């Protein structure tokens, strides 16, 4: 039997407290999905529970296909989640692509020639080790099962047989039903398969991409020839990736389809250590840029056993979630593995000719990779806050605030006419028109002004702009700051600049 490397190529095995989401039917219709949110809320700790509940209540994230009972572990981004995702992506693109001279962005196809995935090693190596409970039919990742049951046991690099032995010798029971009646451990390939056109017995499977990286590698020569970039330079892309995960779960942390942003940075081999350190620093700057709490992150070095087949060195940037320290991002030194493999398999020359030295070589690659879906979760966890405040009558209440950095906040400001009087609505419309070309805005006319402020706090809108009767006289509005709750009176004519200086 082959050896399954539980390696970073897939991800690092980690502790999870959400085994209830590890059902075997993870890619089939789940009639219990309508209870998914309740399940999450009852089985996670307070913070996760509150964030998940807020996401549904305010329109950040909804369970996928909910009216049909859902499809397990699929999630839809609602209006605010979509804005949040787009803002994070745009900030990433600006920081890593547009503001650099050595980076270019592309948008490669999801479907690629299957030979790409054979050459890259995904068909053979993109595996997890799965084990099923024969009694309740639940399916688990064998490494997760062991690591959840036994403290401080390292499973990376163990063979399928060794994983089973560990499970048997330690009397590990099924977290679903408590039985000790498991199948053998088997390799499970994570690539999603589909087919093009009518299928026949001999038709070759086509894969949904498991990472974006291969789209960059196969376009290496196209980019080189069309842009005349010189090494070192990078190619970046974002988009959906698909993995037939055995144990998806923890809300949007591990899903079957997710958004990924990554780039391949092509270098001369002797530069890799210097460049590696440089990119760790840039990744840390990025975390700060989008408001991920520094004290909740750490860098973890991969052990030799964990390294992917292509990697000589890998680090993870981990985040301390309510369900443990988890991988948020990765940085891998992929050497010249991918370009060499594609050169061998395609017969195309993948080398680079240095115009100054006339040296011809296959560039080495550093790959910073950023799960966008995971970023959404960590930005939400970082931003969530509650504080005790007094209402107008001096009663104490809890204010929930998403303290988003303004650059990622779904709305930069909300326009709130004090009352539903036609003259106030008309003026509020005019204020909306003044700002709409430059800022994403909410416009809310329902409920008391206090309730509307709370609603905007809860969705992280940095500024609430109230149009009142004085506005009709003095052409000014009240601007309330989300974090300090301080209010400024600002002339409508100066409003644009006021916001520009603050968001």
Residue ranges in contact with ligand GAP by CB under 6 A: 8, 10-11, 211, 213, 243, 245, 254-255, 258, 260, 262, 327-330, 367, 369, 371, 373-374
Query: In angstroms, rounded to a whole number, what is the distance separating the alpha carbons of residues 350 and 343?
Result: 6
**Shortest Å, Cβ 190 to ligand GAP:** 9
User: Residue 164 or residue 374: which is nearer to ligand GAP going by CB?
Assistant: 374
3-state secondary structure of 176: coil
| DSSP structure class, residue 263 | E
User: Residue 244 or residue 461: which is nearer to ligand GAP going by CB?
Assistant: 244
Query: In angstroms, rounded to a whole number, what is the distance separating the alpha carbons of residues 451 and 493?
Result: 27
**Shortest Å, Cβ 145 to ligand GAP:** 18
Are 77 and 85 contacting, i.e. CB atoms less than 8 angstroms apart?
yes
User: Residue 327 or residue 468: which is nearer to ligand GAP going by CB?
Assistant: 327
**Shortest Å, Cβ 60 to ligand GAP:** 16
User: Residue 128 or residue 132: which is nearer to ligand GAP going by CB?
Assistant: 128
User: Residue 243 or residue 364: which is nearer to ligand GAP going by CB?
Assistant: 243
Tokens in use for 375?
């970023």
**Shortest Å, Cβ 308 to ligand GAP:** 8
User: Residue 283 or residue 441: which is nearer to ligand GAP going by CB?
Assistant: 283
Q: Measured between alpha carbons, how far is residue 313 from residues 12, 106, 330 in Å?
A: 14, 26, 11
**Shortest Å, Cβ 219 to ligand GAP:** 15
**Shortest Å, Cβ 173 to ligand GAP:** 26
CA-wise closest residue to 363 among 394, 379, 339, 327: 339
Phi-psi region of 488 (alpha: psi -120 to 50; beta: other; left: phi over 0): beta
User: Residue 302 or residue 482: which is nearer to ligand GAP going by CB?
Assistant: 302
User: Residue 210 or residue 406: which is nearer to ligand GAP going by CB?
Assistant: 210
**Shortest Å, Cβ 329 to ligand GAP:** 5
DSSP string, 135-157: TT--EEEHHHHHHHHSTT---TT
Query: In angstroms, rounded to a whole number, what is the distance separating the alpha carbons of residues 251 and 75?
Result: 8
**Shortest Å, Cβ 45 to ligand GAP:** 20
Query: In angstroms, rounded to a whole number, what is the distance separating the alpha carbons of residues 480 and 453?
Result: 9
Nearest residue to ligand GAP, by Cβ distance, number only: 371
Query: In angstroms, rounded to a whole number, what is the distance separating the alpha carbons of residues 94 and 318?
Result: 23
The full 3-state SS of 304-359, as one line of letters, equals HHHCCCCCCEEEEEEEEECCEEEEEEEEEEEECHHHHHHHHHHCCCCCEECCCCCC
């Amino acid at each position: 039997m082959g050896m399954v490397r539980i390696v970073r190529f897939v991800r690092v095995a980690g502790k999870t407290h959400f085994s209830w989401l590890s059902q075997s039917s993870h890619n089939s219709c789940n009639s219990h999905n309508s209870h998914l949110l309740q399940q999450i809320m009852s089985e996670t700790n307070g913070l996760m529970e509150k964030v998940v509940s807020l996401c549904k209540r305010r329109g950040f994230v909804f369970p996928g296909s909910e009216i049909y009972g859902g499809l397990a572990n699929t999630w839809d981004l609602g209006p605010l989640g979509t804005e949040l995702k787009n803002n994070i992506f745009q900030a990433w693109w600006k920081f890593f692509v547009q503001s650099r001279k050595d980076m270019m962005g592309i948008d490669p196809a999801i479907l690629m020639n299957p030979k790409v995935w054979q050459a890259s090693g995904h068909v053979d190596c993109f595996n997890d080790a799965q084990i099923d409970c024969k009694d309740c039919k639940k399916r688990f990742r064998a490494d997760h099962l062991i690591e959840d049951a036994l403290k401080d046991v390292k499973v990376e690099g163990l063979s399928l047989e060794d994983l089973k032995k560990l499970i048997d010798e330690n009397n590990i029971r099924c977290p679903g039903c408590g039985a000790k009646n498991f199948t053998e451990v088997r390799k499970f390939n994570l690539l999603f398969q589909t087919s093009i056109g009518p299928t026949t017995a001999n038709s070759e499977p086509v894969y949904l991409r498991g990472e974006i990286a291969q789209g960059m590698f196969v376009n290496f020569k196209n980019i080189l020839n069309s842009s005349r970039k010189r090494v070192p330079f990078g190619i970046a892309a974002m988009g959906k990736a698909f993995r037939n995960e055995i144990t998806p779960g923890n809300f949007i942390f591990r899903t079957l389809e997710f958004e990924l942003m990554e780039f391949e940075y092509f270098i001369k081999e002797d530069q890799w250590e210097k460049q590696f350190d440089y990119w760790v620093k840039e990744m840390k700057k990025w975390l700060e840029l989008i408001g991920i709490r520094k004290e909740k992150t750490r860098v973890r070095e991969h052990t030799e056993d964990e390294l992917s087949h292509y990697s000589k060195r890998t680090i993870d940037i981990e985040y301390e979630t309510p369900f443990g320290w988890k991988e948020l991002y990765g940085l891998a030194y992929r050497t010249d593995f991918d370009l060499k493999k594609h050169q061998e398999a395609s017969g195309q020359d993948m080398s680079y000719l240095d115009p100054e030295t006339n040296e011809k070589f296959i560039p080495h690659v550093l790959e910073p990779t950023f799960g966008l879906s995971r970023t959404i979760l960590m930005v939400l966890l970082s931003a969530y806050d509650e504080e005790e405040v007094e209402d107008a009558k001096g009663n104490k209440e809890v204010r929930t605030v998403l303290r988003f950095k303004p650059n990622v906040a779904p709305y930069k400001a909300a326009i709130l006419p004090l009352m539903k009087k036609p003259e106030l609505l008309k003026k509020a419309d005019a204020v909306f028109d003044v700002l709409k070309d430059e800022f994403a805005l909410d416009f809310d006319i329902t409920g008391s002004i206090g309730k509307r402020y709370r609603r905007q706090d809860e969705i992280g809108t940095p500024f609430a702009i109230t149009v009142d009767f004085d506005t009709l006289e003095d052409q000014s509005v009240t601007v309330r700051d989300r974090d300090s709750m301080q209010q400024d009176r600002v002339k409508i004519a100066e409003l644009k600049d006021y916001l520009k200086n603050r968001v």
